[in-house]
Structure 1
């Protein structure tokens, strides 16, 4: 090849390759620092009310959504991945259940790219939502909010979370607001009566690779000029990773991992 052709090919490679790498594969966020989450603080909050802790966590799979792995965790590849849309319930003896997320409806699911919608699973979720003593939401988004026609007349109101500090909302249950992230993003820490612990990460860590390797999703054009959002996501991922090292037996439940959550049986309470 002539020097001129080599230079041309190198220029093309840089023009195409560098933006592709930066948008799709680069997971860096150099300004990120782990959010100050402490496992002892979360445990103290979980035990600040001496009432009955939940005894069991269960889940329902509402449907699946197709994505590229890179969109969820940059650098993990351009291969397609089917991710789950789930709801969770905490069972408490002689008390109303606590629901974490609440599914959606068939139409809303379709509008948001959710396939294989399970109407029977949603019926079970709707029933538990209508009986819930507390409703928690990991994200203010249509596939997290639940069926808008289902009410929870006995649900307690949440405390004010405006200062961004973790709050105990029930014995064994702590809500962790995520300032800096959109759509009222939250995590939930749960300590069961038998001592098992769970951290529901919501969409800040949609898949396991997100928090294990500190990989925010791939950049988009909308991210240009708004590096603070990516920095916030990476900072929360660092905090989750640090909590895992401080409490290695705690189960980290990503927002939309394809695999069923570890240690969480399938199926809401039947009626």
Structure 2
């Protein structure tokens, strides 16, 4: 049983012992209407995707690095206790002559600490090679299953020129526990700062979305053939969060992850609206292997870094 599953089950048992009212409060109660809506403008993203001249990316590749497990009840409010896979993933936005890596997963030692039920050494090797030659490296947020590989990389100093981390992603060390960046590694580093949206390459736009963590961001990609994808990180672990417009239960959201549940809920509502109104935009949830395998089968995403 993976560490995340053990933690969720233990906390759930404590809640159950506390009585039905406690179970409802921690596991079933839906968040109220968010005080501040999350603005997500597809027209603005499309405009910004064309702001940087040059050829857009030709493909998206994915690597399945590791697998964790968690009950559905920990993934979405009101879910049952069936065991679900939490895939740890890395992506490559592939241009004709370069590539951007989005999310860098975690290494074997970190996966063992997390009690992963699967780790793919060959996929991890391809990820390491892609990082070494990447034109840019971005992460959707600072949890170690998304940033861990670079945090403890022997060649971290060599990766810094391509690494595009924000101040919030650097300055939240407790969010990366049990790992952390070496002291002084960012002394001469200029972090990536922006307000709402930022185009970083032809067809690639970052979207600031604090909530799951302070450093959370989404990545919008418009490919050369016109296809559009939106990587939402851990705003949603699985696509069901977006389809239902519902996030994680309180006992996970507030007491394990320490996230801003109201902000995440606002983002999920915006993503649901985008998904319902623009079904051709492929939204990629943070850990949904079933979704990705479907996209691989359709040729939208390719498995394995090139």
TM-score normalised to structure 1 length: 0.86
Cα RMSD after superposing both structures: 2.5
* 1:240 is the counterpart of 2:245: no
Count of residues in Structure 1 that have an aligned counterpart in Structure 2: 255
**Aligned residue for 1:73?**
76
Between stretches 39-48 and 235-244, larger displacement belongs to: 235-244
Q: Sort the Cα spacing of 1:35 and 1:135 in 2 relative to 1 into closer, same or farther, 3 A.
A: same
**Aligned residue for 2:144?**
142
Counterpart CA distance in 1 for 2:121 and 2:231 is 24
CA offsets per residue over residues 153-185 of structure 1, 9 Å max, x none?
662756865453111011100011113442511
Among candidates 117, 123, 130, match of residue 121 of structure 1: 123
Gaps of 5+ in 1: 1-12
Among candidates 15, 18, 22, match of residue 21 of structure 2: 18
Among candidates 246, 266, 278, match of residue 215 of structure 1: 246
Among candidates 25, 30, 37, match of residue 27 of structure 1: 30
Superposition pairs for residues 144-163 of structure 1, below 5 Å? 144-145=146-147, 146-147=149-150, 148-150=153-155, 151-152=158-159, 155=162, 157=164, 162-163=193-194
| Partner SS for 2:79 | coil
* 1:198 is the counterpart of 2:229: yes
Between stretches 28-37 and 185-194, larger displacement belongs to: 28-37
Among candidates 215, 225, 233, match of residue 184 of structure 1: 215
Contact 1:131 1:154 in 2 (8 A): no
Q: Sort the Cα spacing of 1:156 and 1:48 in 2 relative to 1 into closer, same or farther, 3 A.
A: farther
Offset, 1:239: 1.3
Contact 2:89 2:287 in 1 (8 A): yes
CA offsets per residue over residues 216-251 of structure 1, 9 Å max, x none?
101128837x99811101001011112223321010
Superposition pairs for residues 156-175 of structure 1, below 5 Å? 157=164, 162-175=193-206
Among candidates 132, 135, 141, match of residue 134 of structure 2: 132
**Aligned residue for 2:186?**
none
Structure with larger Rg: 1
| Partner SS for 1:101 | strand
Counterpart CA distance in 2 for 1:198 and 1:139 is 18
| Partner SS for 1:259 | helix
Contact 1:158 1:169 in 2 (8 A): no
Counterpart CA distance in 1 for 2:105 and 2:163 is 20
Contact 1:201 1:253 in 2 (8 A): yes
Contact 1:65 1:114 in 2 (8 A): yes
Counterpart CA distance in 2 for 1:77 and 1:221 is 14
Contact 2:229 2:283 in 1 (8 A): yes
Q: Sort the Cα spacing of 1:33 and 1:227 in 2 relative to 1 into closer, same or farther, 3 A.
A: farther
Superposition pairs for residues 77-92 of structure 1, below 5 Å? 77-92=80-95
| Partner SS for 1:53 | coil
